[in-house]
Each structure stands twice: as C-alpha cells, then as structure tokens.
Amino acid sequence: MNAAGHVYDDSNVFARIVRGELPCDKVFEDEHTLAFRDIQPQTRVHILVIPKGRYVSMADFSSRATGPEIESLIRAIGQVARDAGIEADGYRFLSNHGEHAYQEVPHFHVHVFGGEQLGRMIKPPGR
Ligand code: DGP
C-alpha cells in the first residue's frame, strides 16, 4: 500500500507496457509519461495517456505525483491531441476512477477521444 492508501498491482497491463513486456502503438513518450493507441478504440482517434509511475488512479496520482510528473501528463494530453490533428475540430479527455466509473485497468490513465462528433456528455445507464 502506498502513502495514499492505494494498492498498486504490478501485473496490470499498463505496468507491463511501461516495463516493455507488452507492445503498444506508441504516439508519445518522455521521462514521465507514455501515450499509445487504445487497443479497442471507441472513436476514430482514441489515445491513452499514462504516467510511467506506479499510480492506481486519479486519486492516487493527484495526491502523490510530483510536479514534473503532473506537468508532463497534462502537457502530453495537449501534445497528442495536436499531433493527432484533432485540436481544431475538438476532442474530449477523461479518466475513469474506480468502480462507479468502470475503471478497468488499475493504472491511472487519461483517454483522449476525437476525430469525429462525440455527442454530449455520457449519461449513466438507465437515465
Ligand atoms: P478504463 O475502463 O478507463 O480502465 O479503460 C481501459 C482501456 O484500456 C480500455 O479502453 C481498453 C484499453 N486497454 C486494455 N488493455 C489494453 C492493452 O493491452 N493495450 C492497449 N493499447 N489498450 C488496452
């Protein structure tokens, strides 16, 4: 358990990508951050931006990450959107945190969606 009370699972798929044990379609990398295409894209452009550090979720990252790690991740989101050519028409970035948001991979990640009309914000099931 880390200082924020989160248990990081080193066998999660993004940990394995960061360690180079699994391949990814990389679009950006610097000292702190990696970005690659989602394996099951939900929009024409669907990129995942992740810290290289061992952070479970937004709660963990926002409470424990260093300033340079946070700056790198935020700048990377903007950079991958620019590089993917989706800045002018617009894009959406979001992060699923925990059970209510259906977070599947327990390594903090930000989705970047674009390349088409995205519609309005997602409605919860049944509403
Ligand atoms: P979330 O539900 O927010 O935890 O989203 C997890 C995303 O990760 C989902 O869109 C599919 C993607 N994903 C899962 N496994 C892999 C993988 O091995 N490679 C890549 N590139 N993406 C993956």
Strands of the 45-51 sheet, one edge to the other: 26-29, 33-37, 45-51, 110-114, 91-94
Phi and psi dihedrals of 24, rounded to 5?
Answer: -150, 160
- In one-letter notation, the amino acid at residue 126 is G
Q: Which domains does the chain carry?
A: 13-114 (3.30.428.10)
CB 66 within 8 A of CB 51: no
Residue among 19, 34, 48, 97 to mutate when testing ligand 1 (max atoms within 8 A of CB): 48
The Cβ of residue 52 has, within 10 Å, a number of other Cβ atoms equal to 20
Strands 33-37 and 45-51 turn out to be: antiparallel
Determine the atom of ligand 1 nearest the C-alpha atom of 104: 4
Across 53-68, average pLDDT: 96
119, burial (CB in 10 Å: exposed 0-12, middle 13-18, buried 19+): exposed
Q: Of the listed 6, 32, 107, 109, which one is catalytic?
A: 109
24-59 pLDDT tens trace? 999 999 999 999 999 999 999 999 999 999 999 999
What's the CA gap between 20 and 17, in Å, rounded? 5
Which tokens is 52 given? 């290289």
- At 6, the pLDDT band (50, 70, 90 cuts) reads confident
CB 95 within 8 A of CB 110: yes
69-123 pLDDT tens trace? 999 999 999 999 999 999 999 999 999 999 999 999 999 999 999 999 999 876 7
Site residues for ligand 1, CB cut-off 6 Å: 13, 22, 24, 36, 38-40, 96, 102-105
pLDDT above 70: residue 3: no
Question: What is the pLDDT, as a whole number, of residue 123?
Answer: 72
